[in-house]
């Protein structure tokens, strides 16, 4: 059996939204009516290379105070019995209710790791305005997040994954990452762009054969088509997409950006398409002419390079050294007169490269400084791939070695 993470909380705090967010599919039913009874929902999920199950311990129907107390007990008992990690979900907008405190007390007695998800913190503004003092008083690590918008959820999952028991034999039998994730492994290259910019022609050049049907009519290529080819001793899987409409599918793939940039050159001038590219300013730019085949092969070399970069594992001392230097040179802005300091940094994942840094006031770090850190990080380690930065609350209690294990 895969390890289990249980979401516990009184009705309407956003458990099923969070569940859906974690499992990535809309499995649990979300009802706007408080206290709608549901069956428990189980689903598999994965994060940072670990697979686990998630359970939404479901709703109870508190008609009377007495029933509420019983329902809360049952929910907590079941979660403690079954799960490896407990996530107590509360509504940070509303603040703590009696049932939250009751659940917290029960969970604390259970002796299993408990993380506190402070839900409905929908924006950085809200996060800054929020007084986490009350939530911290429960004695668990607090993760401000928005199940609705997804912000903060991966920080919660990073911590949850670290609290999971060591990988079982069953899990070990399954590869942590597919062969595509390994440096030197097959490279998936998605080509995206507006219709008619020359995607199919470029793909044909890359393949060296007329395998994609290039048609002059806009919008001919509808669904993603895959073909593989070899270049420089490696396998490339080329994916022709229906264009930027399939955003999610393509943004998952690092290599996409080099092609995207490359395509800019063959695109007719289009301001909107230039705007789409702003957020990938770190991606290499290749000028090509798909028709003439000039430098087209260079795209494959670059894609391979980026593919391997995204799987880089950096040494912790180098990371820590970088963090210290960076904040010494350019400290984060003061927060209400207090310094914001970063301490321990560790890499917690690849593809995308994910870095966790402990901070005394994570919620006080604004987007601009986060971007600055990420840009500096890319510069220092010469990376041209997406980087995910996670800021973690430096725990005030005795650390349980969190971070060192990753």
Among residues 93 and 308, whose Cβ is nearest to ligand GDP? 93
Q: Are 175 and 148 in contact (CB under 8 A)?
A: no
Closest CB 95 distance from ligand GDP, rounded Å: 15
Residue 180 DSSP symbol: G
- The residue (of 98 and 352) whose beta carbon lies closer to ligand GDP is 98
- C-alpha 158/C-alpha 183 separation (Å) is 23
Question: Shortest approach of ligand GDP to residue 2 CB, angstroms?
Answer: 22
Q: How far is the CB of 33 from ligand GDP (least distance, A)?
A: 9
Q: 6 near 107, Cβ under 8 Å?
A: no
Strand order in the sheet with 353-359: 342-349, 353-359, 387-393
Nearest residue to ligand GDP by CB is: 14
* Spatial separation of the C-alpha atoms in residues 215 and 300, rounded to whole Å: 23
103/311 with CB nearer ligand GDP: 103
Q: 């907008």: which residue's tokens?
A: 93
Q: How far is CA 385 from CA 137, 255, 351, in A?
A: 39, 8, 9
Q: Angle of helix 15-23 relative to helix 153-163, nearest 10 degrees?
A: 80
Q: Where are the alpha helices (DSSP H) in 150-229?
A: 153-163, 169-173, 199-207
When the beta carbons of 147 and 202 are compared against ligand GDP, the nearer one is 147
- How is residue 330 written in tokens? 């350019």
Distance of closest approach, residue 129 Cβ to ligand GDP, in angstroms: 14
Shortest Cβ distance from residue 15 to ligand GDP (Å)?
A: 3
For the four alpha carbons of 125, 130, 135 and 137, in that order, the dihedral sign comes to: positive
Nearest in space to 23 (alpha carbons), one of 2, 330, 312: 2
Closer to ligand GDP by Cβ: residue 99 or 263: 99
Kindly state the smallest distance separating residue 30's Cβ from ligand GDP, in Å: 4
Based on CB atoms, which residue is closest to ligand GDP, 19 or 257? 19
Bridge pairing between strands 85-91 and 41-47:
unpaired
Minimum CB separation of residue 115 from ligand GDP in Å reads 16
* Between 123 and 324, CB nearer to ligand GDP: 123
Alpha carbon 377 to its chain's center: 18
Question: Could you list the residues that contact ligand GDP (CB under 6 A)?
Answer: 9, 11-17, 30-32, 59, 119-120, 122, 146-148
């Amino acid at each position: 059996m895969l390890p289990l993470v249980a979401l516990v909380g009184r009705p309407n705090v956003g458990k099923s939204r969070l569940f859906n967010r974690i499992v990535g599919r809309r499995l649990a039913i979300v009802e706007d009516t408080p206290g709608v009874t549901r069956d428990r929902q189980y689903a598999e999920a994965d994060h940072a290379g670990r697979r686990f199950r998630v359970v939404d311990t479901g709703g109870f129907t508190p008609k009377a105070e007495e029933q509420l107390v019983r329902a809360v007990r049952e929910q907590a008992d079941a979660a403690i019995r079954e799960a490896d990690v407990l996530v107590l979900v509360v509504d940070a907008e509303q603040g703590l209710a009696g049932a939250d405190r009751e659940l917290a007390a029960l969970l604390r007695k259970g002796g299993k790791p408990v993380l506190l998800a402070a839900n409905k913190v929908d924006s950085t503004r809200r996060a800054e305005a929020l007084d986490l003092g009350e939530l911290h008083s429960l004695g668990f690590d607090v993760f401000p997040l928005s199940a609705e918008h997804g912000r903060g959820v991966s920080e919660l999952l990073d911590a949850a994954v670290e609290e999971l028991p060591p990988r079982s034999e069953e899990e070990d039998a399954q590869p942590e990452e597919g062969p595509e994730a390994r440096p030197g492994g097959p490279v998936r290259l998605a080509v995206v762009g507006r219709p008619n910019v020359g995607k199919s022609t470029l793909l044909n050049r890359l393949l060296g054969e007329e395998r994609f049907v290039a048609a002059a009519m806009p919008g001919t290529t509808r669904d993603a088509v895959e073909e593989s080819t070899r270049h420089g001793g490696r396998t490339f899987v080329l994916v022709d997409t229906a264009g930027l409409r399939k955003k999610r599918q393509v943004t998952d793939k690092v290599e996409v950006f080099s092609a995207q940039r490359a395509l800019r050159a063959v695109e007719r001038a289009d301001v909107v398409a230039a705007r789409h590219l702003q957020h990938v300013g770190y991606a290499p730019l290749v000028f090509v002419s798909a028709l003439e085949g000039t430098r087209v092969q260079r795209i494959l070399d670059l894609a391979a390079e980026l593919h391997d970069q995204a799987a880089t594992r950096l040494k912790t001392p180098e990371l820590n050294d970088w963090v210290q230097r960076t904040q010494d040179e350019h400290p984060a802005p003061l927060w209400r007169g207090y310094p914001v300091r970063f301490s321990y940094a560790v890499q917690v994942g690849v593809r995308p490269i994910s870095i966790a840094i402990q901070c005394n006031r994570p919620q006080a770090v604004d987007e601009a400084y986060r971007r600055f850190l990420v840009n500096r990080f890319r510069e220092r380690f010469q990376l041209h791939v997406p980087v995910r930065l996670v800021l973690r609350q430096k725990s005030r209690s005795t650390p349980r070695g969190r971070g060192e294990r990753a």
